[in-house]
């Protein structure tokens, strides 16, 4: 009877897996083949270790393999294990395995597994492949504060497409593990990510905006002053179109919530995305109504954006101080840095990371 490895990871259906009482059992032959590939790739390295260190390294290798299969099974991607036989993958796999073994931080270990899966999805020698190969080399050398610094800088480069504006508060709250580590960032961390090609200098004659203003522009519908139910009803009576369905969920463009119904919640957190959706639905005639509503709810000031996020987590004060500092205001992330930052953000917020092809657009200053 072939060996079976079991992982408690939920309901999954895959040809290489068996489900028994909620456990996922990996076919022992598949598991053994991949393990042997890993051991062969690290054979020379193991010979340099002491006997005790070699045993510990093999334990780490076993942990890596189980974490990898768990992730592949959850995402129904176990067919990707065939790609471990490709020479190009095995070349990058050496750095991945050694990085996992020597890294002590469990969060970085999980991150390494995620990036390897991205590499397994790449079949051609493209820029995307090169970026992921570079990430595989740098990520194991990142400390948690340094990784969180890159993630914070990535927030300045991307706007999250929310189905409803009120969901952004949950998003900011989910970023707390990243924000909590920023108080430990030093100038040495900044120099390290610069020397490892994660950043690029911002040049030009235009003024550099504060972090608060970047957030204001990205989430202009979210950072709005409170309204009143009375004012909303008066507006809807004059403009009943405000209650028209504007998304596939059947929601109108704005709704009220809260104990006193004082929060005006749009069907997006960013007017650019919202207007694009209206155009796609051939509802661009509603855009002037949104502009009228925005005038009734003036946008936050930069100070109010800062105060709002600090009310969620006091460590946001470190985030603002960092990105508004001279050391970082004139730096943006390189494509490599944006990839690492976006992956970290997506991991904490359970959202999809931005594709590397999106990172060619320069930062809007």
Percent of the chain predicted with pLDDT > 70: 87
- Over residues 22-62, the pLDDT tens digits come to 344 455 677 788 888 888 888 888 877 788 888 888 888 88
d(CA 80, CA 124): 14
**In the structure, what pLDDT confidence band is assigned to residue 263 with cuts at 50, 70 and 90?**
low
Query: Mean pLDDT for the chain?
Result: 82
Is the confidence at residue 345, as pLDDT, over 70? yes
Q: What is the 3-state secondary structure (H, E, C) of 287-356?
A: HHHHHHHHHHCCECCHHHHHHHHHHHCCCHHHHHHHHCCHHHHCEEECHHHHHHHHHHHHHHHCCCCCCH
Is the confidence at residue 141, as pLDDT, over 90? no
Beta bridge partners of 266: 254
More confident: 230 or 340 = 340
Is the confidence at residue 157, as pLDDT, over 80? no
Torsion of CA 268, 271, 277, 282, to 10 degrees: 130
Q: What is the pLDDT of residue 313?
A: 94
Q: What is the pLDDT of residue 361?
A: 56
**In the structure, what pLDDT confidence band is assigned to residue 204 with cuts at 50, 70 and 90?**
low
Contact present, 264 and 254 (Cβ < 8 Å): yes
Most confident of 224-233, 250-259, 314-323: 314-323
Q: What is the pLDDT of residue 40?
A: 85
Start-to-end C-alpha separation, the chain: 63
Q: What is the pLDDT of residue 88?
A: 83
Q: What is the pLDDT of residue 302?
A: 94
- Those residues whose C-beta lies under 8 Å from the C-beta of residue 100, and which sit 6 or more positions away, are 60, 61, 64, 109, 112, 113, 140
- Over residues 61-95, the pLDDT tens digits come to 888 888 888 888 887 887 888 888 888 888 888 88
Most confident of 9-13, 140-144, 359-363: 140-144
Over range 302-319, report the average pLDDT. 94
More confident: 79 or 197 = 197
- Over residues 311-327, the pLDDT tens digits come to 999 999 999 999 998 88
d(CA 196, CA 186): 16
Q: What is the pLDDT of residue 190?
A: 93
Domain positions in the chain are 4-141, 145-218+301-360, 229-296
Contact present, 180 and 354 (Cβ < 8 Å): no
Alpha carbon of residue 361 to chain centroid: 18
Over range 254-274, report the average pLDDT. 75
d(CA 150, CA 333): 8
- Those residues whose C-beta lies under 8 Å from the C-beta of residue 304, and which sit 6 or more positions away, are 223
Over range 132-146, report the average pLDDT. 89
Q: What is the pLDDT of residue 72?
A: 83
- Over residues 275-296, the pLDDT tens digits come to 998 999 999 999 999 999 888 8
Over range 264-281, report the average pLDDT. 89
- Over residues 164-173, the pLDDT tens digits come to 888 888 999 9
Contact present, 117 and 343 (Cβ < 8 Å): no
Is the confidence at residue 21, as pLDDT, over 80? no
Tokens of 54: 């070699």
**In the structure, what pLDDT confidence band is assigned to residue 227 with cuts at 50, 70 and 90?**
confident
Helices (H), 121-205: 127-138, 144-155, 167-174, 176-180, 187-195
- DSSP character at residue 247: S
Q: What is the pLDDT of residue 284?
A: 93
Q: What is the pLDDT of residue 246?
A: 87
């Amino acid at each position: 009877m072939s060996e079976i490895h079991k992982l408690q990871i939920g309901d999954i259906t895959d040809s290489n897996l068996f489900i028994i009482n909620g456990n996922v059992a990996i076919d022992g032959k598949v598991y053994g083949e991949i393990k042997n590939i890993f051991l062969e790739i690290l054979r020379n390295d193991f010979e340099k270790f002491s006997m005790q260190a070699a045993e510990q390294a093999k334990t780490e290798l076993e942990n890596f393999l189980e974490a990898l299969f768990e992730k592949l099974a959850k995402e129904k991607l176990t067919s990707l294990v065939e790609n471990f036989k490709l020479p190009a993958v095995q070349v990058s796999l050496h750095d991945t395995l050694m990085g996992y073994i020597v890294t002590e931080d469990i969060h970085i270990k999980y991150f390494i597994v995620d990036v390897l899966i991205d590499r397994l999805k790449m079949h051609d020698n493209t820029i995307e492949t090169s970026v992921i190969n570079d990430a595989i080399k740098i990520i194991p050398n990142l400390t948690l504060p340094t990784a969180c610094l890159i993630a914070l800088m990535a927030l300045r480069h991307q706007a999250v497409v929310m189905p409803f504006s009120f969901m952004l508060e949950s998003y900011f709250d989910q970023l707390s593990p990243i924000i909590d580590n920023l108080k430990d960032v030093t100038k040495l961390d900044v120099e390290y990510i610069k020397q490892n090609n994660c950043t690029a200098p911002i040049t030009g004659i235009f003024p550099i905006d504060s972090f608060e203003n970047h957030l204001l522009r990205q989430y202009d519908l979210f950072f709005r002053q409170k309204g009143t139910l009375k004012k909303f009803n008066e507006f809807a009576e004059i403009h009943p179109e405000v209650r028209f369905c504007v998304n596939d969920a059947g929601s109108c463009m704005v709704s009220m919530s809260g104990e006193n119904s004082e929060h005006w919640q749009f069907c997006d957190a960013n007017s650019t995305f919202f207007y694009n959706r209206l155009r796609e639905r051939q509802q661009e005639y509603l855009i002037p109504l949104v502009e009228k509503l925005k005038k009734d709810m003036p946008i936050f000031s930069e100070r109010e954006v800062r105060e709002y996020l600090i009310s969620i987590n006091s460590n946001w004060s470190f985030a603002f101080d960092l990105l508004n500092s001279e050391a970082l205001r004139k730096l943006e992330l390189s494509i490599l840095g944006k990839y690492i930052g976006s992956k970290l953000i997506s991991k904490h917020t359970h959202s999809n990371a931005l594709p590397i092809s999106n990172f060619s657009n320069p930062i809007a200053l």
